[in-house]
Chain A
Amino acid sequence: MDLVAEASFTSRAYRDDAVVLRTHKLGEADRILTLLTKHHGQVRAVARGVRRTSSRFGSRLEPFMVADLQLVPGRSLEVVTQAQSKGAYGHAIASDYSRYTVATAMAETAEKLTDVDGESGTAQYQLLVGALAALSRGAQEPGLILDSYLLRALATGGWAPSFTSCARCDAPGPHTAFNAALGGVVCADCRPPGSPAPAPGTIVLLAALLSGDWETAAASEPRERSEAAGLVTAYLQWHLERRVKSLQHVDRQP
């Protein structure tokens, strides 16, 4: 009888690559992990005993870690039975405060984007892993990586902003007004009253961040970066319709 139970337990197990978005303490020494997997979307799983210092698992299942996991579906949550590290970004990110706050905001956004929409899971996974890797390498200024990630994650989720042609009538740009509700820059005819008119350099920067043109992005002025960050946050909050708590803690000093 036990053998049969054991067989069905292992046969239900599956493997997938996953990035840890956040963790919650559970009971004495366990954690509940919120994972974004490559093929199964967002998954919540229990990792047993990982808070003990003797755990050989714990270091691989911390926030921002990418691992190859073996998961077994439980009654309400999956159970992590094996973990192999694929990208240990946690330490490099936590050793720099700006990177840490940026990584947390990215993880929270990914969590909110994938909890209902299971379809874009693989694309969101790849985008987040790429952003975390760039962040841990220090490839760009953390604030730029965050804004680029947020724009691209929204575009992947179906809210692609437009920074060239008018978001409403598609009239070719460049345009000077930005409206989060309409989905990007708007021409003089479509512009609703009260739409902000950012500096032309800011719109160039936003377009560069969306397309991943790092040369243009790196050449931007600090004033343009902070204006772009404000617009990206407004755009994110409008379309996500939920508050991303980590964003107010992002440390944007280089």
Chain B
Amino acid sequence: MYEGAVQELIDELGRLPGIGPKSAQRLAFHILEADAGDMQKLAEAITAVKTRVKFCSICGNVSEQDTCSICRDPRRDASVICVVEESKDVMAVERTRSFRGRYHVLGGAISPIDGIGPEKLRIRELLTRLSDDTVQEIIIATDPNVEGEATATYLIRTLKPIGVKVTRLASGLPVGGDLEYADEATLGRAFAGRLAV
């Protein structure tokens, strides 16, 4: 046990994901020895993120204002909504530079074993966004794993009766790989989703 502030810092760092007691101790001593100005900046960044950042009232993405920059941007196509699980996924789609519509962040995937049912996700907010005829297409971009698939299945079942066009991201072979190394599930999905040319 160290004295006072050092031990407190170690304990707090140790509560972060992926940080064990040894890593927490290493980080704490790094902070102790580092330049005071740099560490002040780190402390301010943590305070700022907790006080300034909130969730966009429309799409649920992280934002410093009531609505995020994508929802505020009039050049974005309001007729297409891409539904993703987390804010991190918005950045992944944005990096492709091929999607010009808007987003809807669900806040996770349906996982009854962890106590997460459809009512805990932002599905009701998505349905509210469909109340007028602005939105023409919903692109479901949940993770290609079992929970993501089940969430997509639930969304399709909920959205289809409304009459909006619903599409899903294709699943299949990663670009730049060899066919012989593809696993059977991925290759099977690539076959199922093949394109007519």
Q: Which residues of A contact B (CB under 8 A)?
A: 22, 27-28, 53-54, 56-60, 62-64, 85, 88, 90-91, 93-97, 100-101, 104-105, 107-108, 245-246, 248-250
Contact = CB atoms under 8 A, between A and B. Distances in A.
Contacts of B183: 56-60
Contact of A97 (B111, B144, B154, B177): B154
Nearest to B186: A59
A63 B183 CA distance: 17
Given A85-B184, A105-B112, A245-B113, A54 B174 contact: yes
Given A62-B145, A107-B113, A100 B150 contact: yes
Q: Do most interface residues of chain B lie in helix, strand or loop, or is the interface mixed?
A: helix
Q: Which 5 A-B pairs have the closest CB atoms?
A: A59-B185, A94-B149, A249-B112, A246-B112, A100-B150
B146 A95 contact: no
B4 interface: no
A186 to B, nearest CB: 32
B182 to A, nearest CB: 8
A101 B157 CA distance: 14
B186 to A, nearest CB: 6
16 contacts: A22-B113, A53-B144, A54-B174, A59-B186, A63-B146, A88-B185, A91-B146, A91-B149, A93-B146, A95-B149, A97-B150, A97-B154, A104-B113, A245-B115, A248-B117, A249-B112
A96 B146 CA distance: 11
Contacts of A53: 144, 174
A108 B113 CA distance: 6
A163 B87 CA distance: 51
Given A22-B113, A63-B146, A104-B112, A56 B181 contact: yes
Contacts of A248: 112, 117
Nearest to B154: A97
Contacts of A100: 110, 146, 150, 153
A242 to B, nearest CB: 13
Contacts of A94: 146-147, 149-150, 153
Given A53-B144, A245-B115, 16 more contacts: A27-B18, A54-B174, A59-B186, A62-B145, A85-B184, A88-B184, A90-B149, A91-B189, A95-B149, A100-B146, A100-B153, A107-B113, A108-B112, A245-B113, A246-B112, A248-B112
Nearest to A59: B185
B117 A249 contact: yes
Contact of B146 (A90, A97, A105, A249): A90
Nearest to A95: B153
Given A53-B174, A56-B183, A249-B112, A62 B154 contact: no
Interface string B128-153: 00000000000000001111011001
Given A62-B146, A64-B146, A104 B111 contact: yes
A95 B145 CA distance: 11
Nearest to A105: B112
Nearest to B189: A91
